[in-house]
Structure 1
Amino acid sequence: MLNAEQIAQLADELAEADRTHGVIPRITARYPDATVEDSYAIQGVWRDRMIASGRTLVGRKIGLTSKAMQQATGISEPDYGVMFDDTVFRSGDTIPTAHFSNVRIEVELAFVLKAQLAGPDCTLEDALAAIDYAVPALEVLNSHIELEGRTIVDTISDNAAYGAMVLGDVHRTPEEIDLRWVPGILSRNGEIEETGVAAGVLGHPATGVAWLANTFARHGARLEAGEIILAGSFTRPMWVKAGDEVRADFGPMGVIECRFV
Structure 2
Amino acid sequence: MTRMEQQEMQQAVALVLAAYRGGEQFDTPAEAVGPQTVAQAYAVQDGVARALWPGQRTRCWKVGAPNKDSEAYSAPIPPRRVHASGARLSGDDFHMIGIEAELAFRVTRPLPPRACLYEEAEVRAALGELCVTIELVDTRLRQWQQAGALWRLADNQINGALIVGGGISDWQGLELAQRPLALTVNGEVLAEQRGGHPLGDPASLLGWSVNHLVARNKGLEPGDLITTGSWTGMRFIAPGAEVCARFPGIGEARVRID
TM-score calculated relative to the size of structure 1: 0.84
Q: Which residue does the alignment assign to 2:15?
A: 13
1:239 and 2:236 matched: yes
Which structure 1 residue ranges, 4+ long, deviate > 6 Å from structure 2? none
Say which structure is richer in helix: 1
CA distance in 2, matches of 1:236, 1:258: 18
Confirm or deny that 1:223 pairs with 2:220: yes
Q: Would the alpha carbon gap of residues 207 and 20 (structure 1) be closer, same or farther in structure 2, given more than 3 Å must change? A: same
Q: Which residue identity does 1:80 align to in structure 2?
A: S
Question: In structure 2, the residue corresponding to 1:206 is in which secondary structure?
Answer: helix
Shift of residue 81 of structure 1? 0.8
For 1:133, the aligned partner's letter is E
In structure 2, stretches of 5+ residues that fail to align are none
Which stretch of the first structure deviates more once superposed, 125-134 or 179-188? 179-188
Cα distance in 1, alignment partners of residues 217 and 250 from structure 2: 35
Which of 77, 88, 91 is the equivalent residue of 1:94?
A: 88
Aligned residues: 253
1:43 shift after superposition: 1.1
For the 8 Å contact 1:168–1:256, the answer to whether it is kept is yes
Identity %: 23
Q: Which deviates more from structure 2 when the two are superposed, residues 83-92 or residues 13-22?
A: 83-92
Does structure 2 conserve the Cα–Cα contact (< 8 Å) formed by 1:172 and 1:253? no
Distance 1:176 1:34, change over 3 A: closer
In the alignment, the residues of structure 2 paired with residue 183 and residue 18 of structure 1 have an alpha-carbon distance, to the nearest angstrom, of: 36
Corresponding residue of 2:158: 161
Q: 1:37 is matched by which residue type in structure 2? A: A
Gaps of 5+ in 1: none
Task: Give the partner amino acid of 1:29.
Answer: E
Residues 182 and 245 of structure 2 are in contact (CA less than 8 Å); yes or no, is this contact kept in structure 1? yes
Higher mean alpha-carbon deviation, 217-226 vs 236-245, is at 217-226
C-alpha separation in 1, matches of 2:77 and 2:35: 28
CA distance in 1, matches of 2:194, 2:219: 28
Whether the 8 Å contact between 2:168 and 2:251 is mirrored in structure 1 is no
Residue 238 to residue 33, structure 1, CA distance change in 2 (3 Å)? closer
Answer whether contact 1:66 1:234 (CA < 8 A) is retained: no
Structure 2 counterpart of 1:256, which letter?
A: A
Q: Judge conservation of contact 2:133–2:252 (CA < 8 Å) in 1.
A: no
Matches within 5 A, 1:43-122: 43-52=45-54, 57-63=58-64, 65-67=65-67, 76-117=70-111, 121-122=117-118
1:251 aligns with 2:248: yes
Over 3 Å counting, the alpha-carbon distance change for 1:28 and 1:39 in structure 2 is farther
User: What's the counterpart of residue 129 of structure 1?
Assistant: 125
Give 3-state SS (helix, strand or coil) of 2:139's partner.
Answer: coil
Asked whether the equivalents of residues 144 and 152 of structure 2 are also in contact (C-alpha less than 8 Å), the reply is no
Could you tell me which amino acid in structure 2 is paired with residue 12 of structure 1?
Answer: A
Matching residue within 140, 146, 151 for 2:148: 151
Per-residue CA deviations over 1:122-172 (Å, capped at 9, x if unaligned) read: 344332111121111101112111223122201111011122111112333
1:213 aligns with 2:223: no
Label 1:166 to 1:218 Cα distance change in 2 as closer, same or farther (>3 A): closer
Distance 1:256 1:153, change over 3 A: same
TM-score normalised by the chain length of structure 2: 0.85
Taking only aligned residues, the RMSD between alpha carbons, in angstroms, comes to 2.7
Query: Post-superposition shift, 1:33?
Result: 7.5
Task: Determine the C-alpha separation between the residues in 2 that align with 1:100 and 1:188.
Answer: 17
